[in-house]
Amino acid sequence: MAFRSRENQHYYLIARHSGKALGFSSNTPGSELRQMTFDPKNNLQKFRFDRGGDNFYWLKLPHYDRYVAIHDSSQNDKAPVILWQWDPSGENSRFLMEPAGDGYYRIKAMHSNKFLDVYLAKTTDDASVVQHSLTSTDNQLFKPVPVIDQAVDAKATSYTEVNDLVRTGALSLIGQIPTAGGSLSFLVGLFWSEHNKLADLWEQMKSYVDNRIRELLKEAQLKQLREMLAGQLKVLNEIKNSPGLKGPKLEEVILRIVEKEPHFLEQSKEVLPYLVGLGTIMITLRHMMVVNYKDLYGKEPDQATLDANKTQLKNSIAEYTDAVNKTRAELMDWRMTFLEKWIGFPSQVKDSMVKDTYDGWSMAWLWDTYLTNVEDCKIRAEHAALQRRNQISVQYESELNEFLRAAKCWPYFDPASKPYTETVIKKEVGSFGGPYTHNPFSGVSGERITKIIAHTNEAYKLCGLEVFYNEKSSGLKGRVGKSSETIALQDGEYINSVHGYHYNAVEGIWFTTQKGNIAGAGNPKPRKPSRFFCADLADGLNPRLVKISGSYKNNEIEQLTFHWEYID
């Protein structure tokens, strides 16, 4: 989905090809952006994303009150990226974050439509960062990593990466069962740092969730849970490195967690940043008591002990899964509370309006002087509210699914469960556009999108759309415009991001691939950016667009719905 930065959150920008950070050697205006070895204490490597209109960001060095810009507003390749003073009207300091998958983004300068680029893909310190035309190479990919207090790890790891580590580690445990030492190494290696502190991933979890439900988090409970986790992980680290039988010592850790966990399970949404980690730790320990008992105790368990351990494992899986499901439902309900609509009265507000105070989205339809269009305005507002609700239910759920992905593995820790198998998840985002339809189209199922042609009319609005599946056109929907753009997908390339503008119809649409190619139609800078929409799913799920459905009339695209798939 579109990049979302929490207000006042600072980030490192890490280049994918080198693993090194972007930064400046000084805070002097005109200093050029460079690649350098990551240093968590270097304030010249810390950026803040300040949101502007039209879905762009200003990149600020918050400690020095200066901004990133393209030198001299140049349109050329190799133009330096520099540090400059605040210029709210300068498009050379406005940037778009285009998702590229796996938590990485391309950073596009709005004035030139070119990308930040570590020049010549150098991996050395002091390599220049310039703007450059799209190359589809890793030196144009950057991951924003939240700056956390008292970082302990020497490597900047994004939440998407640590989330994958938790999930991959869990899958390895339930796939080919390792030794007891392997399970302990997984827990300690992932959740504990070599500096004898909680690993940075705990704060990355918190930062990810902060961006979405900050109002619900309770810092006191989080602090208590963090302290409890730190204590028990420290003990687990000592157990891992100690000689002799480990079973009795692990039992003590489990019992200490059991004493505390009801308090946190009852407040699952308030401590959500750490809930998945806590559940994974507890279920892994219970799992070890079932499948690694002989290694832990030096003997086979009797039947009563084995049955008791199996029951405790099942109970832990059920308790944590129930807590996650309860939290998911509560958060979805909470998210919907931000959606407001009102019709107004002739003596008061003469419009019908829908507003989402979560992110500032809104739409309004003004009543005419003689109130002849009141019913039409009501219909449009009701439809817009329903559209927004449907959009939220799918997209916000995908963000929760991304964060809670490891929890999906928990039931498979039970040796009696069926083996975990990946499945193709299908989701629809939309519709977008007005309430009235004339010529519906359903797209083509089971075939790959290979090309899209989008047409713009004289009013700078989308007027026609032609989608090709397996190189075959599904037919032009709408009409040919005065101009058009084409995006032709190469082998292995797919669309991972869609955004646009809509009101009584879809007025603009742009498609972006994971390789950075983009094409669309309409006015990229409309008068009312509040009508902006993003039709993506959570970026960490690596979704791909597989179909487009909707309706049209003459030279107007009335509605569009976007069909996505991802593997989970």
What percent of the chain is predicted at pLDDT more than 70? 82
Q: What H or E segment, with its residue span, contains residue 283? A: helix 272-291
Does the pLDDT at position 321 exceed 60?
Answer: yes
Task: State the pLDDT confidence band at 149, using cuts at 50, 70 and 90.
Answer: low
Higher pLDDT, 165 or 63: 63
- Of 115, 146, 177, which marks where a domain is finished? 146
| Structure confidence at residue 565 (pLDDT) | 97
Q: How far apart are the first and last CA of the chain?
A: 17
Task: State the pLDDT confidence band at 182, using cuts at 50, 70 and 90.
Answer: low
Which pair of tokens denotes residue 412?
A: 């498979």
Q: Tell whether 378 is covered by a domain.
A: no
The angle, 0 to 180 degrees and rounded to 10, between the axes of the packed helices 374-403 and 159-175 is 60
Which tens digits make up the pLDDT trace of 511-561?
Answer: 999 998 999 999 877 666 558 899 999 888 889 999 999 999 999 999 999
Q: Which of 53, 84, 66 is nearest to 532 (CA)?
A: 53
Which tens digits make up the pLDDT trace of 67-109?
Answer: 999 999 999 999 999 999 988 888 999 999 988 887 889 999 9
Q: What CATH number should be reported for the domain holding residue 40?
A: 2.80.10.50
Does the pLDDT at position 234 exceed 80?
Answer: no
Place of tokens 């691939």: 513
**Pairing, β 472-478 against β 462-469:** antiparallel
Q: Which of 178-182, 385-389, 415-419, 483-487 shows the lowest mean pLDDT across its residues?
A: 178-182
| Structure confidence at residue 22 (pLDDT) | 97
Residues 437 and 310 in one domain: no
- Of 331, 356, 391, which marks where a domain is finished? 331
| Structure confidence at residue 340 (pLDDT) | 86
From CA 177, how far away is CA 165, in angstroms rounded? 17
Report helix, strand or coil for 113. coil
| Structure confidence at residue 309 (pLDDT) | 95
Specify whether the CB–CB gap between 219 and 209 falls below 8 A: no
Which tens digits make up the pLDDT trace of 331-374?
Answer: 899 889 999 877 654 445 567 888 988 888 888 888 876 667 88
Q: pLDDT averaged over the chain?
A: 84
Q: Tell whether 412 is covered by a domain.
A: no
Residues 121 and 164 in one domain: no
Give the mean model confidence (pLDDT) for residues 404-418.
85
Q: Tell whether 395 is covered by a domain.
A: no
Place of tokens 């310190």: 125
Specify whether the CB–CB gap between 522 and 456 falls below 8 A: yes
Q: What H or E segment, with its residue span, contains residue 502? A: strand 495-502
The angle, 0 to 180 degrees and rounded to 10, between the axes of the packed helices 272-291 and 247-265 is 150
| Structure confidence at residue 216 (pLDDT) | 63
Residues 184 and 53 in one domain: no
Q: Which of 449, 519, 524 is nearest to 485 (CA)?
A: 519
pTM for this entry: 0.83
Q: Which residues pair with 556 in a beta bridge?
A: 553
Domain range holding 252? 159-331
Residues 62 and 181 in one domain: no
Which amino acid, 298?
A: G
Q: Which of 50-64, 134-148, 149-163 shows the lowest mean pLDDT across its residues?
A: 149-163
From CA 355, how far away is CA 446, in angstroms rounded? 36
Residues 183 and 112 in one domain: no
Q: Tell whether 393 is covered by a domain.
A: no
Residues 132 and 57 in one domain: yes
- Of 116, 146, 176, which marks where a domain is finished? 146
Residues 208 and 254 in one domain: yes
Q: Using a CB cutoff of 8 Å and minimum separation of 24, what contacts does 230-235 make?
A: 230/197, 230/198, 231/256, 232/256, 232/257, 232/281, 233/187, 233/188, 233/191, 233/192, 233/198, 233/281, 234/192, 234/196
Secondary structure string (H, E, C) spanning 320-332: HHHHHHHHHHHHH
Q: Tell whether 391 is covered by a domain.
A: no
Q: Tell whether 85 is covered by a domain.
A: yes
Residues 179 and 326 in one domain: yes
Does the pLDDT at position 37 exceed 60?
Answer: yes
Higher pLDDT, 318 or 277: 318
Residues 308 and 430 in one domain: no
Does the pLDDT at position 11 exceed 50?
Answer: yes
Residues 256 and 326 in one domain: yes
Residues 180 and 216 in one domain: yes
Q: What CATH number should be reported for the domain holding residue 465?
A: 2.100.10.30
**Pairing, β 127-132 against β 114-118:** antiparallel
| Structure confidence at residue 68 (pLDDT) | 97
Write the burial class of residue 527 (CB in 10 Å: 0-12 exposed, 13-18 middle, 19+ buried): exposed
Number of domains in the chain: 3
| Structure confidence at residue 171 (pLDDT) | 53
Neighbours of 351 (CB within 10 A): 14
Q: Tell whether 400 is covered by a domain.
A: no
Task: State the pLDDT confidence band at 151, using cuts at 50, 70 and 90.
Answer: very low
Rg (CA), the chain: 26
| Structure confidence at residue 88 (pLDDT) | 82
Which tens digits make up the pLDDT trace of 244-291?
Answer: 888 898 898 888 888 888 877 777 766 676 788 888 888 888 988 998
Residues 174 and 121 in one domain: no
**Pairing, β 472-478 against β 483-488:** unpaired
Q: Tell whether 407 is covered by a domain.
A: no
| Structure confidence at residue 206 (pLDDT) | 54
